[in-house]
Amino acid sequence: MFDSRHIKTFHEVVRAGSYSAAARALGYTQPAITQQMKALERSVGTPLFVRVGRQMRLTEAGETLARHSEVILDSISTAQQQMSSLTRLRAGKVSVCAFPSAGATLVPEALARLASGHPGVRVELQEGEPPESLRRVVRGECDITLAFTYPGLREQVPPELVEIPLLEDQLTVLLPTGHPMARRRAVKLGDLAQERWIAGCLRCRANFLHECAELGFAPDIAFTTDDNLVVQSLVAEGLGIAMMPGLVLSFLVHQKVTGRALDPASRRRVSAYVLREHLEIPATALVLDALRGVAERRVGC
């Protein structure tokens, strides 16, 4: 209904008391002021000024608009300042959902980068495992989600999401210190067919079962837990062995546990997922850049 330029001109006319005084204050010609006020009156559908002798007075509608014009202009100014802060990355809020091992490694390093260069950008953290964490982005419950996929599993990603690959996370076999296989630099999964196993989260367990099936055996799974520290503690006590991602081992290493790479190597892909239109939001793009920078420094990227 209102053109902000017309409101600004109207406010100055009311303050200055005439079209000519407003024109001098704003650097316009008087005819330009007149045309703007006529356009504003057409917008509101009623006259805003009447002439009484040589003076100009506000109509009832003009008085009503005059009471609100300063508030309108203040609100526009505040909105412009806040929008400028967002686009210039002096402010902004981004919600990130991450699976536990990414939340303990990639995310803190990325946030440290942001804090030093853009302290006004705030990041809210959530914890979640795929595929539910992917659905949170689609539902608008977070802006970015970090998730992992395994090449051997047919996993569906919602078509609304854009994938930004971050790194290839190599899987490692966890053995109790003193296990015969611990003397090798790398181990073959098929050579561990007779071992008791500790399985992890549903997606990791599905991949583990798939890889074992590809080699022709069904593993003896003694325990299942998605708590990485519990897995390592069970291995340390000789209650089984486990297949764990490299990200986990970078922050949890039990003294009685030895990690050995698989031969041939087995990996999972770690990526960030966002809605396509969110790529254009400056704060979201900044967080993604920080995550990419951290991932590039890690082995396997």
Per-residue pLDDT reduced to its tens digit, 59-102: 888 888 888 887 887 777 666 666 654 455 555 788 999 999 99
Q: What is the CA radius of gyration of the chain?
A: 32
Per-residue pLDDT at 118: 82
Per-residue pLDDT at 1: 61
d(CA 82, CA 258): 52
73 in the Ramachandran plot: left (φ > 0), alpha (ψ -120 to 50) or beta? alpha
Per-residue pLDDT at 301: 38
Q: What is the dihedral of CA 241, 255, 269, 214, to 10 degrees?
A: -20
Residues of the chain scoring pLDDT < 70 = 1-2, 77-91, 299-301
Per-residue pLDDT at 181: 93
Per-residue pLDDT at 4: 80
Reported as a single tens digit per residue, the pLDDT across 24-36 is 888 889 899 899 9
| CA distances in angstroms from 229 to 106, 165, 238, listed in the order given | 18, 27, 15
Per-residue pLDDT at 79: 67
